[in-house]
A = this chain, B = another copy of it.
Amino acid sequence: MLGAMKEPRWLDSSQQRHWRAFVEGSVRLHDLMDRDLKAKHGLSESEYEILVRLSEAPEMRLRMAELAESASQSRSRLSHTCSRLESKGLVRRATCPGDKRGVYAHLTDEGYSALQRAAVDHVEVARDFFIDVIDPADLEAIGRAFTAVTRRIGEVR
């Protein structure tokens, strides 16, 4: 009897339309940006994200766990990705003075300049295919909406 309480509450047709539009658009946009980044700079989106986060951190370094969290990646994935970035010379690992378990990922100078180059193109694409085709008021709505989504997801862990 209890199980039966969970009746499917379907979306109404306009909700469904909007939801679908979002899913399709965001998948295609992500694909496009990913391809572009890889073709022009040999970086995957997750590698790029890591460089961005490091570049914004104080002293351009972060603990692995913080970096994983801020780049929305699992620790394992970060560890592998970081090894790749390290072998490309864009990132360097160093042990953490206070906590011997800890590891800092540092952005190297080479990493910084690779990021600079990539960011210019990345923003260009974001502009061409996202910012510039969206009405400014709708862009604000997007900001509000996704902030709420992130907050909601944070509530449950």
Contacts and interface: CB of A to CB of B under 8 A. Distances in A.
Given A19-B130, A149-B133, A150-B21, A123 B8 contact: yes
Interface stretch (A90-98, A99-107, A137-145): A137-145
Interface string A1-34: 0000010111100110111011011111101100
Which of A31, A124, A131, A137 has the most B CB atoms < 10 Å from its CB? A131
Contacts of A32: 153
A144 B148 contact: no
What number of copies of this chain does the assembly contain? 2
Contact of A129 (B8, B135, B152): B152
A79 interface: no
Interface residues on A, range: 35 or more
Interface in A118-133: 119-120, 123-124, 126-131, 133
Contacts of A151: 133
B145 A135 contact: yes
B143 A18 contact: yes
Interface of A: 6, 8-11, 14-15, 17-19, 21-22, 24-29, 31-32, 72, 119-120, 123-124, 126-131, 133-135, 137-153
18 contacts: A8-B123, A8-B124, A9-B123, A11-B123, A17-B143, A18-B142, A19-B130, A21-B143, A21-B147, A21-B150, A25-B149, A28-B153, A29-B149, A133-B145, A133-B151, A134-B149, A135-B144, A138-B141
